[in-house]
């Protein structure tokens, strides 16, 4: 197998290179944002740049990147564009800039939206240019750029400006290009179109779009490639065709045009398809286009076609061909009279039509309206090969898409894993197109939606598998032995050589299938490894996925492996096959089952695993072996590789998606079109739902009537009771319900809606019935004063329909979620709610808050492996809940026993739940009814208050409640207390009735299933758990009515969709009533490791983000309570009206300054350290030593002032820098009790959803902005700090970035050198923004800061030392307590004298920024304290050593390849 060539990575230019560029000089003269006096607009500048910089460099990405980054499009091109100055260079320059923005994944259309006037003119000119002849004004390369621009337009239909142009282009008038017979055929199929068509014929001026058909026809003949330019043009052209076919609005008209042009047939017959190297991607794209042209959908209605309907269409085509043959072509009689199943294969069609002449074939095709009629006595101009292929490809039997999917192996093989067109390397630059599906705004059908997600999920998993295989196999160092065999020179933790492999079972296929139902094999390995690794191998569980690998190395023993060279040829990899573990075999060859029993101890080191192979793959391999004489793959394996369990769930998720595609996917009607991206995006909003609920009980949501009134600004609130003393929560609110139909309304109607009635809310305070006399009977209450937008989110969540809540950082998303859950629980006690989050951490936070509300804990259930992290003694897992039920049952039966005793009833009523039920019915209820008859109202006279207490039958039982139970103040009050007591008793028996099932079901598994299906009302799980366990949940009969998703913008599209379908439909309908999604699409999206899937396929787009793009209404929370107002300003520009909660201004912690630091946030410029800025030891593994040292120095300074280390977190934008900072902390201060370690050192991406008081942020890059250009990452980075944010970066690079301007303009408004106040202690009394009374010191660079911190630390040590010395001179009684400390001090000094001190010179002694008196130095291990005596040099020793010590510069240890974990992080 040929190894793919390694693609080159695009190297970003450095700042100095940028400044030296001709483009940069022009930018500084004409359009750079920071230049005050700019030269006037000159069209010649655009012409020069285009010719000299873009065309001359053959559209080099580096040049285009520079231009785009300099804000050429925003500040020069579009700002000055008008029809008068429009030219070829102008058009092409704009297209290049827009394409570059899409490649970089940054918003491209914003500038056009701001100035839309000339866009229609511009777009028409682009079209004209794209349709120009190739040998004309525009070169093929330029036309490829135009094609790409058009493709981006078609993929941006959510932008009104673009959509208005595209709709004119692709609509019914484009059918003008069809041949008349074909046109008549299409209009006959859809009669309602004829009326529109007649109108179009009258308007000749609308005939322009027929150019599109000419465009298709012309392009179809450009597939005779000569140069790579032509190949790239063809690839981009087919990509555009695929994108037009995969969108319903464009497909509706375009599919017919494409079919009529026979583009596919022309392409499949071209030479390019048969070229192994050049045509590989082209033929893959063609296959995708073929798939979409024949997609199972009705183009006009948009309805998905069933398997039967597709078969009918196929039979109709064949029978119409047979009828035509019978009537007009006697030579085809045999064909016409044959059975359909006999003639619809490719072979039989070729057999019947192959012998015919070209003219006859043309006549057949024209009879079917595929070609124009052939004039009499004229020969056809078409090739016979083309005519035959046209008829055969149209009429051959197709394999159904679902059948293809079911026959597809789920495990990737070596052919897919290393195919660069399908699974690109980490160096994907975004330049070329790929044979990958795209996730954009709209999908054709649910089948299309699931299929695209299935393919992308499979390929993203394949990319991760490739990384794992390359890592494990190269660690094993396979070499060729002297005798031609394989010898392994290394070892890998995750892979082992196979000793023996045998296939032990191939089960018979099911009826109608041609692959075996099951294939099992035994793999034997020799575990001669360390015990803990042996345990890992022996711990492989059922369903874990492993990979079987064959290597045949050609390199001799001892050859070094080079990671930069192609992997396959180095290790000689031949085959990769997946398998699933069934279990390990014991001594007798039986599978050891997972269970409570301990595993048997096996002797020796040889272990055999029974594995399931993929039946589809096995069948394909065996067919290949038998038919083509290929070798048997299953006799060659010599390595087995396992993967980490967390990353290894891909097969279960793929099976879930495949099962969904095989079942009738029932999505609620009100959601169906929105999920596909069509129809009215607001149709699922509660205001348009037909089953809107008028009156809702808000339970404990409001704290007072004033809070309620403030929560509905602009509404008239009518309270049903006048007395202010009775206007206390809880409240029921009746809302004015509007018409649920989403019809367009006239302006007059809109005005009518704003009448008084539509704005009036009727509020009814009600009293929660007394629950009993015990303190724990009192309901738990909400204490949060929700804002009016939070109340709107809670109201929307309680109503049926789709609710989308956008929660910026610190706006209380979790509190809103918990209140919605609580309110649904109380309003609809019979309904069940499913909670889904992205991470276990978020689920646990949510659960902890739910437990604090008035929800009975027997109704809570937590599924998955995260429940052990819950910070509570209670266990909410399935088995934890079973144990709770059993324990609670015993407690309640004890209460029944006590009640029985207090009533003096003989017998054993508390034996079981059943006997307790009879006891309640015959003994308790009878006494209560008798009591009620004695004390209830008799006629007009009120009963005596004392009677309520006198006749009460349960005095003795409630003797342990706070006394007196009855207050004797009024009849009503005492009667309510008596009823509360009875409710308490009744609840005991109600719960026991619910727990009866646990008496009948004996096994823990059955009990846990019962809890899940019947008992639990609020069930929580992660989206991954839902995807993995869908099959089991559906099988159990799991049911739910509402879904609430937290962190919805961080969940993959498909993992958001699967939780909608964890239950079987009822009578063909989904029972789902509410779907609440809470997230923030302005923060980071789901993590996709491969750049190609992330950028090209847009796989990182969550369903939440897509809904926002489509225009689904959202509730935007608009008040944050996390950060200082000044810090909030750094990111609130990204949100609609994000303000601050009052406490952000009022609380002392927000109004007090940060001690020892002049500013609450600052951007600190860091120049190169020792000539080096960023470095990249591995791909995308960026490090910056100067910034890392500076960040750690500031951290140490803050800790020395008295800041608690756990209130400081250090963040960075790259993994390489994270490892470097951790290493420096380990060396400088990690084990020092005076300083310690920060709360976390991690990446911005990992820290999403968390916060800390003080954040130190390193941006690392000095050559290019890198992925911080994604504004979502910037928002996360800026919003993690509550009180202080200090950013270390190369200012000259980041301040020029257009996307980051709103934040960086605020940051650069403050000084760019660190301002510190060393003499101000922590905490300070200084107010934020006040001038300090202490002296401010300006730190100009990292060496100065490192030196300053070292001196500060030494001064602290000396003062501590001096303090201990003075203690020695105190009277004996006072010395005793200090003696121990002093002994330690002496011991420390003696040990230190035995050590040699290694000293780093930071900075070099020549550095002018350091004072002459104190040598500028820092010890390598500085500063560690007494826990590690060697860390702190004795003062005398330091002074003597410093003069002569010059050790390696600081980066010597840190710019190592940190992938092999740095010393300190191991």
- List strands edge to edge, sheet with 1042-1045: 860-862, 1018-1022, 833-837, 1042-1045, 1074-1079, 801-806, 1115-1116
pLDDT bin (cut points 50, 70, 90) of residue 754 is: low
Summarize pLDDT for 1279-1312 with one digit per residue, the tens.
Answer: 999 999 999 999 988 888 888 889 999 999 999 9
Q: Can you give the pLDDT at residue 482?
A: 85
DSSP state of 788: H
1072 neighbors 1038 (Cβ within 8 angstroms): no
Q: Which residues contact 636 (CB under 8 A, 6 or more apart)?
A: 550, 574, 575
Q: Can you give the pLDDT at residue 1202?
A: 92
441 neighbors 674 (Cβ within 8 angstroms): no
Summarize pLDDT for 858-870 with one digit per residue, the tens.
Answer: 898 888 865 555 5
Q: Highest-confidence range of 157-171, 465-479, 1009-1023, by mean pLDDT?
A: 465-479
pLDDT bin (cut points 50, 70, 90) of residue 465 is: very high
92 neighbors 122 (Cβ within 8 angstroms): no
Query: Per-residue DSSP letters for 1136-1185?
Result: SS-EE-HHHHHSHHHHBPPTTBS-SEEEEE---BTTB-EEEEETTEEEEH
Nearest to 527 by CA among 501, 496, 549: 496
Question: Is residue 1390 predicted with pLDDT exceeding 50?
Answer: no
Q: How far apart are CA 438 and CA 451, in angstroms?
A: 11
Instruction: Quote the crossing angle between the two packed helices 248-261 and 228-245, to the nearest 10°.
Output: 130
Q: Can you give the pLDDT at residue 1212?
A: 96
* HSE toward the beta carbon, residue 812, CA cutoff 13 A: 23
Q: How far apart are CA 1310 and CA 1293, in angstroms?
A: 17
Q: Can you give the pLDDT at residue 770?
A: 85
Summarize pLDDT for 271-307 with one digit per residue, the tens.
Answer: 888 887 788 889 899 999 999 998 989 888 888 888 8
DSSP state of 1059: G
Summarize pLDDT for 696-734 with one digit per residue, the tens.
Answer: 999 899 999 999 999 999 899 999 998 888 888 899 999
**Of 495-509, 1003-1017, 1033-1047, 1106-1120, which range is least confident?**
1003-1017
Question: Is residue 516 predicted with pLDDT exceeding 90?
Answer: yes
794 neighbors 1076 (Cβ within 8 angstroms): no
Question: Is residue 369 predicted with pLDDT exceeding 90?
Answer: no
Handedness of CA 1317, 1322, 1328, 1331 (dihedral sign): negative
Question: Is residue 661 predicted with pLDDT exceeding 70?
Answer: yes
Omega of the bond leading into 852 within 30 degrees of 0 (cis): no
β 1181-1184/1174-1178 pair status? antiparallel
Query: Residue 733 pairs with which residues in a beta bridge?
Result: 696, 763
Q: How far apart are CA 822 and CA 836, in angstroms?
A: 16
Question: Is residue 950 predicted with pLDDT exceeding 60?
Answer: yes
Question: Is residue 753 predicted with pLDDT exceeding 60?
Answer: no
Q: Can you give the pLDDT at residue 1213?
A: 94
pLDDT bin (cut points 50, 70, 90) of residue 115 is: confident
Q: How far apart are CA 1241 and CA 748, in angstroms?
A: 60
Query: Per-residue DSSP letters for 1207-1234?
Result: GEEEEESSHHHHHHHHHHHHHHTTT-TT
* HSE toward the beta carbon, residue 1297, CA cutoff 13 A: 27
936 neighbors 943 (Cβ within 8 angstroms): yes
**Helix, strand or coil, per DSSP, at residue 938:** strand
Mean pLDDT of 836-855: 86
507 neighbors 519 (Cβ within 8 angstroms): yes
pLDDT above 70: percentage of residues in the chain: 87
Higher pLDDT residue, 819 or 218?
819
Q: Can you give the pLDDT at residue 866?
A: 59
Summarize pLDDT for 172-192 with one digit per residue, the tens.
Answer: 777 777 777 777 777 777 777
815 neighbors 849 (Cβ within 8 angstroms): yes
Instruction: Quote the crossing angle between the two packed helices 384-395 and 346-353, to the nearest 10°.
Output: 140
Summarize pLDDT for 1230-1240 with one digit per residue, the tens.
Answer: 888 889 899 99
Summarize pLDDT for 62-105 with one digit per residue, the tens.
Answer: 888 888 888 888 888 998 999 898 899 999 999 999 999 888 88
Summarize pLDDT for 1140-1189 with one digit per residue, the tens.
Answer: 998 888 888 999 999 999 999 999 999 999 888 999 888 778 999 999 99
886 neighbors 998 (Cβ within 8 angstroms): yes
User: For 717-723, which contacts have Cβ atoms below 8 Å and span 24 or more sequence positions?
Assistant: 717/760, 717/761, 717/763, 718/760, 718/761, 718/762, 718/763, 719/763, 719/764, 719/765, 720/762, 720/763, 720/764, 720/765, 721/764, 721/765
Question: Is residue 747 predicted with pLDDT exceeding 50?
Answer: no
Q: Can you give the pLDDT at residue 755?
A: 63
Omega of the bond leading into 654 within 30 degrees of 0 (cis): no
Distance of CA 923 to the CA centre of its chain: 58
Q: Can you give the pLDDT at residue 940?
A: 61
Q: Can you give the pLDDT at residue 286?
A: 92
CB burial string 1072-1085: b at 16+ within 10 A, e below? bbbbbbbbbbbbbb
Query: Residue 1440 pairs with which residues in a beta bridge?
Result: none
Q: Highest-confidence range of 430-439, 1105-1114, 1365-1374, by mean pLDDT?
A: 1105-1114
pLDDT bin (cut points 50, 70, 90) of residue 11 is: low
Summarize pLDDT for 596-622 with one digit per residue, the tens.
Answer: 677 788 888 999 999 999 999 999 999
């Amino acid at each position: 197998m040929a190894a793919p060539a390694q693609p080159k990575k695009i190297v970003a230019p450095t700042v100095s290179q940028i400044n030296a560029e001709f483009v940069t000089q022009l930018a500084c003269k004409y359009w750079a944002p920071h230049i005050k006096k700019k030269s006037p607009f000159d069209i010649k500048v655009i012409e020069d740049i285009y010719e000299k910089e873009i065309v001359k460099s053959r559209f080099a990405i580096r040049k285009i990147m520079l231009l785009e980054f300099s804000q050429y499009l925003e500040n020069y091109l579009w700002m000055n564009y008008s029809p008068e100055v429009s030219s070829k260079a102008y058009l092409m320059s704009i297209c290049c800039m827009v394409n570059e923005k899409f490649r970089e994944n940054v918003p491209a259309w914003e500038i056009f939206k701001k100035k839309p006037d000339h866009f229609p003119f511009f777009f028409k000119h682009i079209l004209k240019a794209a349709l120009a002849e190739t040998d004309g004004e525009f070169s093929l390369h330029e036309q490829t750029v135009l094609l790409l621009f058009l493709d981006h337009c078609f993929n941006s239909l959510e932008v009104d400006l673009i959509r208005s142009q595209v709709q004119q282009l692709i609509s019914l008038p484009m059918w003008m290009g069809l041949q008349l017979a074909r046109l008549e055929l299409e209009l006959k199929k859809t009669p309602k179109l004829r009326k529109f068509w007649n109108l179009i014929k009258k308007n000749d001026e609308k005939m322009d779009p027929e150019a599109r058909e000419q465009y298709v026809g012309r392009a179809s003949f450009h597939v005779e490639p000569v140069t790579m330019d032509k190949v790239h043009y063809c690839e981009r052209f087919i990509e555009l065709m695929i994108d037009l076919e995969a969108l319903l609005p464009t497909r509706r008209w375009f599919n017919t045009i494409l079919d009529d042009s026979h583009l596919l047939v022309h392409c499949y017959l071209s030479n390019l398809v048969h070229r192994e190297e050049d045509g590989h991607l082209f033929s893959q794209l063609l296959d995708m286009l073929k798939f979409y042209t024949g997609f199972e959908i009705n183009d006009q209605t948009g309805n998905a076609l069933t398997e039967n309907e597709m078969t009918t269409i196929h039979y109709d085509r064949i029978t119409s061909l047979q009828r035509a043959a019978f009537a007009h072509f006697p030579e085809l009689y045999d064909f016409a009279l044959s059975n359909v199943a006999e003639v619809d294969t490719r072979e039989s069609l070729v057999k019947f039509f192959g012998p015919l002449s070209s003219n006859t074939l043309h006549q057949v095709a024209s009879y079917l309206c595929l070609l124009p009629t052939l004039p009499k006595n004229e020969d056809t101009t078409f090739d016979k090969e083309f005519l035959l292929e046209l008829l055969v490809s149209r009429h051959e039997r197709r394999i159904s898409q679902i059948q293809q999917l079911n026959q597809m192996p789920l495990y990737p093989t070596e052919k897919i894993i290393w195919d660069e067109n399908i699974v690109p390397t980490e160096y994907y630059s975004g330049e070329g197109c790929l044979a990958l599906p795209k996730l954009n705004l709209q999908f054709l059908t649910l089948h299309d939606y699931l299929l695209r997600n299935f393919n992308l999920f499979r390929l993203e998993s394949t990319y991760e598998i490739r990384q794992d295989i390359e890592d494990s196999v190269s660690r094993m160092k396979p070499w060729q032995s002297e005798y031609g065999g394989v010898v392994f020179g290394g070892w890998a933790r995750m892979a082992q050589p196979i000793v023996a492999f045998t296939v032990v079972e191939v089960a018979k296929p099911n009826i109608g299938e041609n692959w075996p139902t099951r294939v099992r094999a035994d793999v034997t390995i020799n575990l001669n490894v360390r015990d803990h690794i042996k345990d890992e191998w022996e711990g492989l569980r059922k369903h874990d996925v492993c990979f079987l690998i064959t290597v045949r190395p050609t390199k001799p023993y001892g050859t070094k492996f080079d990671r930069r060279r192609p992997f396959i040829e180095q290790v000689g990899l031949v085959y990769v096959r997946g398998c699933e573990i069934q279990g390990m075999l014991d001594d007798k060859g039986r599978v050891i089952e997972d269970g409570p029993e301990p595993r048997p101890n096996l002797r020796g080191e040889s272990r055999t695993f029974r594995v399931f192979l993929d039946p589809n793959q096995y069948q394909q391999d065996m067919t290949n072996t038998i038919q083509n004489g290929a070798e048997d793959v299953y006799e060659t394996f010599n390595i087995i590789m396992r993967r980490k369990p967390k990353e290894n769930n891909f097969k279960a998720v793929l099976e879930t998606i495949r099962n969904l595609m095989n079942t009738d996917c029932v999505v609620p009607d009100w959601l169906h079109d929105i999920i596909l991206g069509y129809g009215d995006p607001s149709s699922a909003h509660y205001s348009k739902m037909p089953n809107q609920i008028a009156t809702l009980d808000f339970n404990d949501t409001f704290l007072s009537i004033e809070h309620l009134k403030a929560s509905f600004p602009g509404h008239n609130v009518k309270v049903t009771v006048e007395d202010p003393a009775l206007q206390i929560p809880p409240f029921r609110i009746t809302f004015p319900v509007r018409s649920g139909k989403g019809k367009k309304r006239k302006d007059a109607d809109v005005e009518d809606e704003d009448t008084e009635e539509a704005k009036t809310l009727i509020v009814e305070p009600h009293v929660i019935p007394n629950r009993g006399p015990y303190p724990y009977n009192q309901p738990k209450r909400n204490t949060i004063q929700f804002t009016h937008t939070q109340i709107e989110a809670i109201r929307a969540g309680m109503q049926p329909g789709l609710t989308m809540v956008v929660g910026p950082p610190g706006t209380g998303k979790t509190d809103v979620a918990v209140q919605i859950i609580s309110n649904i629980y109380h309003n609809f006690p019979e309904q069940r709610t499913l909670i889904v989050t992205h991470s276990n951490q978020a689920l646990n936070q949510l659960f902890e808050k739910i437990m604090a509300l008035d929800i009975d804990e027997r109704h809570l259930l937590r599924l998955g492996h995260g429940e052990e992290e819950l910070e509570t003694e209670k266990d909410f897992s399935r088995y934890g809940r079973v144990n709770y039920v059993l324990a609670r049952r015993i407690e309640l039966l004890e209460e029944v026993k006590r009640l029985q005793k207090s009533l003096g009833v003989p017998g054993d009523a508390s034996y079981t739940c059943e006997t307790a039920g009879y006891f309640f019915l015959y003994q308790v209820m009878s006494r209560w009814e008798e009591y009620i008859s004695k004390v209830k109202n008799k006629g007009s006279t009120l009963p005596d208050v004392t009677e309520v207490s006198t006749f009460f039958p349960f005095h003795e039982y409630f003797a342990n409640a706070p006394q007196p139970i009855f207050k004797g103040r009024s009849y009503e009050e005492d009667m309510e207390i008596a009823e509360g007591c009875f409710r308490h008793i009744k609840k005991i028996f109600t719960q026991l009735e619910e727990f009866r099932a646990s008496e009948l079901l004996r096994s823990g598994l059955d009990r846990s299933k019962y809890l899940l299906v019947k008992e639990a009302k609020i069930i929580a799980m992660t989206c991954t758990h839902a995807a993995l366990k869908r099959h089991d949940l559906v099988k159990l009969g799991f049911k739910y009515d509402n879904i609430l998703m937290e962190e919805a913008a961080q969940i993959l599209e498909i993992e958001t969709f699967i939780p909608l379908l964890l239950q079987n439909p009822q009578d063909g309908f989904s029972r789902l009533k509410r779907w609440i999604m809470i997230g923030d699409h302005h923060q980071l999206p789901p993590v996709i490791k491969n750049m190609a899937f992330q950028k090209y396929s847009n796989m990182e787009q969550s369903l939440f983000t897509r809904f926002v793009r489509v225009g689904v209404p959202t509730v935007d929370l608009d008040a944050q309570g996390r950060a200082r107002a000044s810090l909030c300003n750094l990111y609130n520009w990204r949100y609609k009206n994000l303000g601050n909660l009052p406490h952000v201004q009022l609380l002392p912690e927000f109004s007090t300054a940060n001690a020892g630091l002049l500013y609450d946030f600052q951007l600190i410029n860091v120049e190169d350290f020792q000539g080096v800025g960023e470095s990249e030891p591995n791909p995308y593994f960026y490090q910056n030593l100067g910034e890392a040292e500076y960040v750690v120095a500031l951290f140490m300074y803050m800790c020395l002032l008295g800041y608690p280390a756990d209130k400081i977190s250090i963040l960075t934008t790259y993994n390489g820098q994270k490892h470097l900072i951790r290493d420096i902390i380990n060396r400088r201060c990690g084990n020092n009790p005076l300083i310690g370690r920060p709360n976390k050192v991690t990446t911005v991406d990992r820290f999403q959803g968390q916060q800390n008081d003080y954040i130190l942020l390193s941006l690392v890059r000095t050559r290019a902005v890198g992925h911080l250009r994604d504004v979502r990452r910037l928002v996360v980075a800026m919003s993690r700090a509550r009180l202080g944010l200090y950013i270390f970066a190369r200012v000259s690079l980041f301040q020029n970035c257009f996307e980051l301007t709103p934040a960086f303009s605020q940051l650069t408004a403050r000084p760019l050198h660190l301002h510190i106040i060393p003499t101000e202690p922590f905490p300070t009394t200084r107010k934020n923004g006040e001038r300090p009374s202490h002296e401010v010191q300006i730190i100009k660079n990292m060496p100065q800061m490192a030196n300053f911190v070292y001196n500060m630390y030494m001064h602290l040590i000396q003062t501590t030392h001096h303090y201990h010395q003075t203690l020695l001179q105190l009277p004996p009684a006072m010395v005793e307590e200090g003696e121990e400390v002093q002994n330690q001090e002496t011991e420390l000094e003696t040990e230190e004298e035995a050590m040699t001190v290694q000293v780093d010179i930071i900075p070099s002694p020549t550095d002018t920024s350091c004072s002459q008196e104190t040598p500028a130095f820092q010890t390598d291990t500085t500063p560690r304290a007494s826990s590690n005596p060697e860390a702190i040099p004795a003062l005398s020793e330091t002074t003597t050593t410093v003069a002569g010590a010059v050790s390696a510069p600081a980066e010597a240890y840190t710019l190592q390849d940190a992938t092999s974990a740095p010393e300190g992080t191991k």
